[in-house]
Amino acid sequence: MSSNWKSFLALFLPCILVLLALESLLRPNPRERNYEAFTEMVYSRAAESLSPSASLPGAMTQQSVAPGVVIRGQLPFHYGPGPEEAQRAGRELLNPYTDEPHVLARGAEIYLRFCTVCHAGDGGGQGPVVKRGMLPPPPLGAARALEIKDGEMFHVLTLGQGNMGSYAAQISAADRWKVIRHVRLLQESVR
Ligand code: HEC
């Protein structure tokens, strides 16, 4: 055997022995988990929802939204209730939708589902619940409904007006704008 081989074995064999010794020392029972060196990687600190968590600010799992963040699908509505705010919405907000067929189709669907019960299919205000004693809404073809701008109507649907409640929880902002396009179409037909 050359001297090269000898020195190689002299180096290599002790290394193997040390590794085997370490292995049996750190993992005495092969049925058990390995020795855990960095436990942070093994056990995550993920918090249970709605339970306090020491690793989050204020120990709260549900953090409040950071200032300036807009939640997806929830564009802020910077108007309070009342007629003045409704008029301001009328001046400042524009309907993002035009009378494209898919917009009108969706608007008609929303109107049928949410508005017909009171306003009736033709907007005249004699829907089924009115026939059963509820105060009739003003006709959507009357002067006031014709005059109010889309933004003001959006305010009515978002925050309600008088006897009509808010529809913000049931109808998404996009659908509220689309149903307004349908109301405009109704108004054209009853004029
Ligand atoms: C529960 C019955 C009811 C439902 C459902 C309802 N409305 Fe109304 N709506 C009313 C009443 C009542 C008023 C009159 C409110 C007032 O000024 O006191 C009104 C007012 C309005 C006005 C303002 C009209 C005006 O002349 O001031 C608009 C526009 C309108 N509704 C649109 C809608 C649309 C669109 C829907 C469907 C998304 C809808 N409403 C669903 C009862 C209802």
22-49 pLDDT, tens digit per residue, is: 887 776 777 877 777 777 777 777 778 8
Q: Using CA atoms, how far apart are residues 28 and 96, in angstroms rounded to an integer?
A: 69
pLDDT 10s digits, 114-151? 999 999 999 999 999 999 999 999 999 999 999 999 99
Q: Using CA atoms, how far apart are residues 62 and 11, in angstroms rounded to an integer?
A: 58
Tokens representing 102 are 């898919």
Q: Return mean pLDDT, the chain.
A: 90
Instruction: Give yes or no for residue 137 CB within 6 A of ligand 1.
Output: yes
Per-domain boundaries in the chain: 3-45, 83-190
Instruction: Give yes or no for residue 153 CB within 6 A of ligand 1.
Output: yes
Taking the centre of ligand 1 as the mean of its atom positions, its distance from the CA of residue 139, in whole angstroms, is 9
Q: Using CA atoms, how far apart are residues 174 and 180, in angstroms rounded to an integer?
A: 10
Instruction: Give yes or no for residue 113 CB within 6 A of ligand 1.
Output: no
pLDDT 10s digits, 60-89? 888 888 888 888 877 889 999 999 999 999
Q: What is the pLDDT of residue 97?
A: 97
Q: What is the pLDDT of residue 108?
A: 97
Q: Which of 118, 132, 158, 183 to mutate to test the pocket of ligand 1 (most atoms within 8 A of CB)?
A: 118
- Give the distance, in angstroms, between the CA of residue 69 and the centroid of all CA atoms in the same chain: 13
Report, as an integer, the average pLDDT of 81-99.
96
CATH number of 83-190: 1.10.760.10
> CA distances (Å), 6 to each of 1, 2, 3, 43, in order?
7, 7, 5, 46
Q: What is the pLDDT of residue 37?
A: 77
Q: Whose CA is nearest to atom 12 of ligand 1?
A: 137
Give the residue from 111, 107, 186 showing the smallest Cα distance to 141: 186
For the question of whether the overall pTM of this predicted structure is more than 0.85, the answer is no
